[in-house]
Amino acid sequence: MHYQAHAKINVFLKIVGTRGNYHELLSRFMLVPSLYDTLSFVPKKSTHPFELVGDFNCALEHNTLYRTFMVLKQHGFAKEIERVMSENALHVKKAIPTGSGLGGGSSDSATFLKMLNEVATLGLSVEEMMRIGSEVGADVPFFVSGFDSANVSGIGEVVEKFDEPALDIEVFTPPLACNTALVYKTYREYFLQSIDQALASRMAALKSLELLDNFSKEKLNDLFPACLKAYPELGTYAKEGWFFSGSGSSFFRLAHKVKNG
């Protein structure tokens, strides 16, 4: 069986405070129906406790999928998931670019968590998987939730469904990967004083179409100026009518507006 791990966009992303070295945000996450990685279990070929098959550019111990495996073990499910992974490797066919602000790693982790919950019959509820997923990555709870659209706050652990369908979104990712840690470091150093909590709260109440119709990419995403400062070449890809997702580097727009001119 194949499982789809969908990308997301940030319709808006506002920084509303800090928590130690972390930044607290208020953001609208929305799934992208047309863009997803594909995960499946395939016969295992190695003796390693966790075999991952796919095109990844980091060491296994730093991969979010391996971290998902390890966190589940720490929560008392070692026997069940080791039984599954003793016979299977996890195969990932990547379509979501790395360093693109589309949440590919987090979506893969959430999907793998659901796969293990199903195949190893762990009996975890969605809420329990969201809590476990938050230990892997800040965006994982949203992808576990199953919501098409949600307001996400805190450092990503608070996910509140927003009642609207996923929009028909076209995504463009430049040949440039943005380092999330560098983007947030740049934001804190140069832009932290521009926090506007009132505007963030107002945006959270609006539907995504209203947000895209009434605000520019600069207003919608507080990290866009930080990305431009950290990666000046990004400016050559910032076209009129396109919005900016997460910590970059992807831009998006409504596909129906393109079709309708």
Indicate the helix (H) or strand (E) that contains 92.
strand 88-93
Q: Are residues 11 and 69 in the same domain?
A: yes
Q: Are residues 17 and 134 in the same domain?
A: yes
* Contacts of 31 by beta carbon, 8 Å cutoff, 6+ apart: 6, 7, 8, 147, 148, 149, 166
Out of 134, 161, 188, pick the residue that ends a domain: 161
Q: For the chain, what is the domain count?
A: 2
* Contacts of 151 by beta carbon, 8 Å cutoff, 6+ apart: 26, 27, 28, 29, 159, 160, 162, 204
Indicate the helix (H) or strand (E) that contains 115.
helix 104-119
Out of 122, 141, 161, pick the residue that ends a domain: 161
User: Could you read off the pLDDT of 139-159 as tens digits, one per residue?
Assistant: 999 999 999 999 999 988 999
CATH of the domain at 57: 3.30.230.10
Supply the pLDDT for residue 204: 98
pTM of the full predicted structure?
0.94
Q: Are residues 7 and 96 in the same domain?
A: yes
Q: Are residues 196 and 102 in the same domain?
A: no
Supply the pLDDT for residue 260: 41
Q: Are residues 20 and 105 in the same domain?
A: yes
Out of 161, 181, 200, pick the residue that ends a domain: 161
Annotated catalytic residues are: 8, 139
The arithmetic mean of pLDDT across residues 163-181, rounded, is: 95
Q: Are residues 27 and 88 in the same domain?
A: yes
Task: Write out the two tokens for 68.
Answer: 């998902």
How far is residue 154's CA from residue 168's CA, in Å, rounded to a whole number?
27
Q: Are residues 107 and 24 in the same domain?
A: yes
> pLDDT grade, residue 19 (50/70/90)?
confident
Q: Are 254 and 212 in contact (CB under 8 A)?
A: yes
Instruction: State which residues form the domain around 188.
Output: 169-259
